[in-house]
Amino acid sequence: MVARLVLDGRVVDADSGAPLAGMAVTAITRSSSPLPGTVTDGDGAFRLEAPLAAVPLAHDASLAVVVSLDRDGAPIHRTAPIPLSELATDDLQIAVPGADLASVFTHGELVLTTDSGAGDQLTVGETLVLSATRMRPGTVHTVTLTVDGEPYASRRLVTDQFGTLPSTVVAPQFGLAAADADGGLTKAEAARRWADHALSVAVDAAGRTVASATLPVVDTGGALSGFVCDGAGRPSEVVSRTADPLFLSLDGVPGGTVIRVSVVPSQAEWVVGDAIEAVADADSRPLVVETVVGGAEEPVRLFQVDRLEPGSFDLVVRPVRYGFEADEVPALGSRDLVVGRFAPGLLVRDRALVDRPVGVAAAPSAQTTGAAAPEVVEGGIPPGSHVLPDPGTLEEFRYVGAFAVDAPLLLARGLSTSLTVEDENTAYFQPGAFTPVSRTFPRRALVRFPADAPGATTPAQISTARPDYPVVVVVHGNGHQFTSYAFLLEHLAANGFVTASIHMPNGVHGLARANAFFDHLGLLRSLFGAVLQNTVGVLGHSRGGEAVFKIARLNRSLGLAVGLRGVLALAPTDQYGREALVGPRAVPLHVVYGAKDADVSGWPPYAGYDVRQTGFSLYDRADGRDKSMTFVENATHNGFVTTNEAAPAPLLPAAAQRAILLADANAFFRATLRQEPEWTAVLRGDRVPPSVASTGARIHHQYRSTRRRTLDDFEGAHTPSSWKTGTLGGAVSQVGLPADPVEAQLYPHDDHSPHDTGGLRLAWNSTTDALSMSVPPAARDVQTFAVLSFSVARVVRSPLNPATRPQDLRVVLEDGSGHERSVRVSEFGSIPVAAAANEPGNVKSAMTTVRIPLAAYTSPSDGAEPVDLSDVVAVRFAFTELPTGEVALDNVEFCD
């Protein structure tokens, strides 16, 4: 065996700490000899390997690491020589100075796309989509749109770790919205105003333009086009579910033409041949309307909005020629118009459930004060949304291979049919406070993988479309069957993952499930060989959901070198040693939990715990990598996989819960294992996939980014006055509150809180009350962040909160010049009525995360000054919306 030098490290941006992916890395010896190079992965990580003989081993031996844009490119950064003795102590982190990066990322590649596909001109009413590559990774870029030099719109976007701006809507329905036109413009009005002008697009980073393009703006010229509108022909693609009629504005269709309009689930891309499958209306009938087009510019009346359930939809419009068989084919034809090609053509909200998320975030509703009198700034669907397919229905591979790990397979390979692992003897609170026991049980699993043909049953038949694949392993809980997760394995396999669900006998605890994971992962590697990446995710359910935290800890503490990139905890227990994903063991985390979980309800605490033991407490204790959580009303412990356990009605159907799990799991593992950051929009709740929206489920999200500037997380020693000083040292004050806020551990201060974190509990009894947080001078420039984020929960059973409607308030930013704007929370998030639990005593004061885009404080507004994001002096919570209330706050921060 040849001795080898192995050097693990990570390349990051020195300014932001963001990972730099796709970078070429090599090392140079003191004699200037380069070692074999490699390329950083999506996390900026790399591994250099070379025969030990290639490295001089003198007492002062050292290596210099060189980073380049690609293997053949010129170096952009070279470290000073690093002694081998230092490299042996820990993984190496190479921070590339911002000046070095800025000097090479000077000319990005910009791609503009419109509804018609062409990027050489823009028709009035079309949606403009921008994407870019070869940009500085992890960097805020400002996209500015001007028409003949006059400002039209601007957006702040952040490149991913590969230096890519994913396809993003920057101008929806160009020209139809206008600040000086109440409700927007009709198509004819917009054409008169904007046609024959030029739209310029500039992408700037740190004040320097790195990509630009100019498009002529043209009228439709009689081409078929259209949008959802009101009776006056003005855009109205976001509607409440009422008895009001819905209209369609059409161009390119002569009066008297019969059209057939099919309302279909929204999808990201449409191509000729796609199936047209109309959604069912409230009476379970396909929603297809045939009508006659009236005169020029006359909107076409379609149907009452309340025929549709809440959700995201597209409209397929077909001019009908009777007697033509092709016009009866339920597939998209070349003559058809799709209303909603890059963003949903129609978004329906339920008026009775105003806190329910929809597929695209609502526009800002902001009051401004400053040079002008206060006014309301409102808009239509805002730009800035990535173009995403539905992760719950997306399939990249047509075929999925399948086989079982069982006794015949193992014996044929000379492997043991059972495994023996260490386990805990009981539930416990203090880490390590258990007696180790040995467990032996059969080695069994279901395996699914991408395939090129139907009927694949061996690892050798894995698809050759890619050289290798990431792996996801499912670890189930007590009383569950590993075979019940086949639907999930098949969905992930169709999206490019090798997947396995492993058998666990009843009665084993968290540690045995974690150790069994490592055993089965080794078995999968032996079966699939080099085609299996060391890029691994694990999904655990119930006790298996807690086991994923042990897997992350053991992987690090035992030096197992599993490339664990993401863990998903489904309805997890929290009873085996208060696990926490922090420090070196931290990995990206997503938690899914149902409000009517009767098995892991969190009440009462046991095994010595002093917190309510649910997915909330595990989520709270994780830090060091991005984390997210989905909390589903009327969902249960088992309904995400099999059937609902006994719980009071109403219950979300198990099929709906499985749809949520499919979408969340695919989005999470694509974001973490495949390094596709655009899917985090689903995990944050910014985008609700059609397959989830169609369930009607009420879903609440938490999300926390590691790239943040925290004004106050309410941790540390809690005293009667500790609330008056924020995490950064800024002063916190209140005006008019009936009592000072209380900073404390949320549980047990609020007996209904499921959280294992500090927070701030406060109440108000007047619409003039407020809580203000000052921003220290060194922290006032927040231009590089995307949102103002905070977590909030209404206190259960407080008589100050409305009994049947969400709580609401405003968040104000103030700059050093005295300009300020306030944004209503309900426009970007929710403080919902507490979700019903499996029994009344288990109702939870559950946090949700509100993320307000900082663009809401800077967007153009007639007569009102924007807030200067380079000089934000205060954040204020203004309780102007409802006369009384009581909430808990946590993690007030600027972040991505």
Q: Looking up tokens 């006994």, which residue turns up?
A: 646
Element (H, E) at 111: strand 109-113
pLDDT at 123 over 60: yes
Q: What is the pLDDT of residues 499-530, one digit of tens each?
A: 999 999 999 999 999 999 999 999 999 999 99
Reduced to 3 states, what is the DSSP secondary structure of residue 52? helix
Banded model confidence at residue 382, pLDDT cuts 50, 70, 90: very low
Banded model confidence at residue 359, pLDDT cuts 50, 70, 90: very low
CA 795 and chain centroid, separation: 27
Longest dimension (CA), the chain: 90
**Rounded average pLDDT over 642-660:** 93
Give the domains, in start order, of the chain with CATH numbers: 4-103 (2.60.40.10), 105-218 (2.60.40.2240), 225-353 (2.60.40), 366-382+707-895 (2.60.120.430), 399-685 (3.40.50.1820)
pLDDT at 789 over 50: yes
Q: How far is CA 723 from CA 304, 568, 585, 757, 875, in A?
A: 51, 34, 31, 15, 15
Nearest to 665 by CA among 542, 532, 540: 540
Q: What is the pLDDT of residue 366?
A: 33
Residue 171 CA to residue 152 CA, distance in Å, equals 9
Contact 732, 712 (CB under 8 A): yes
- DSSP tag of 650: P
Banded model confidence at residue 286, pLDDT cuts 50, 70, 90: very high
Out of 80-89, 473-482, 716-725, least confident range? 80-89
Q: What is the pLDDT of residue 864?
A: 63
Q: What b/e string do you get for 88-120 counting C-beta neighbours within 10 Å, with b at 16 or more?
A: eeeebebebeeebbbebbeebebebbbbeeebe
**Rounded average pLDDT over 802-823:** 94
Q: Which two tokens stand for residue 397?
A: 């591979």
Out of 94-103, 356-365, 592-601, 699-708, least confident range? 356-365
Q: What is the pLDDT of residues 329-347, one digit of tens each?
A: 999 998 899 988 777 788 7
Q: What is the pLDDT of residue 178?
A: 60
Give the list of residues 6+ apart from residue 689 with CB closer than 8 angstroms, or none: 359, 388, 390, 391, 392, 393, 663, 667, 682
Banded model confidence at residue 861, pLDDT cuts 50, 70, 90: low
Banded model confidence at residue 468, pLDDT cuts 50, 70, 90: very high
Tell me the torsion sign for CA atoms 163, 166, 172, 173.
positive
Nearest to 205 by CA among 127, 295, 283, 102: 102
The type of residue at 543 is: R
pLDDT at 288 over 70: yes
Q: What is the pLDDT of residues 698-713, one digit of tens each?
A: 999 999 999 999 999 9
Q: What is the pLDDT of residue 60?
A: 67
Banded model confidence at residue 221, pLDDT cuts 50, 70, 90: low
What is this structure's pTM? 0.71
What residues are paired with 63 via a beta bridge? 29, 82
Q: What is the pLDDT of residue 141?
A: 87
pLDDT at 656 over 70: yes
Cβ-in-10-Å burial (0-12, 13-18, 19+) of 432 comes to exposed
Q: What is the pLDDT of residue 380?
A: 35
pLDDT at 163 over 60: yes
Nearest to 335 by CA among 224, 238, 440: 224
Q: What is the pLDDT of residues 571-616, one digit of tens each?
A: 999 999 989 999 888 999 999 999 999 999 987 787 888 888 999 9
pLDDT at 375 over 90: no
Out of 354-363, 755-764, 797-806, least confident range? 354-363
pLDDT at 166 over 90: no
Nearest to 477 by CA among 517, 504, 514: 504
**Rounded average pLDDT over 650-657:** 95
- DSSP tag of 577: S
Contact 728, 779 (CB under 8 A): yes
Nearest to 498 by CA among 541, 453, 451: 451
Q: What is the pLDDT of residue 524?
A: 97
Residue 732 CA to residue 746 CA, distance in Å, equals 19
Element (H, E) at 488: helix 486-493
Q: What is the pLDDT of residue 25?
A: 92
pLDDT at 13 over 90: no
Q: What is the pLDDT of residue 88?
A: 59
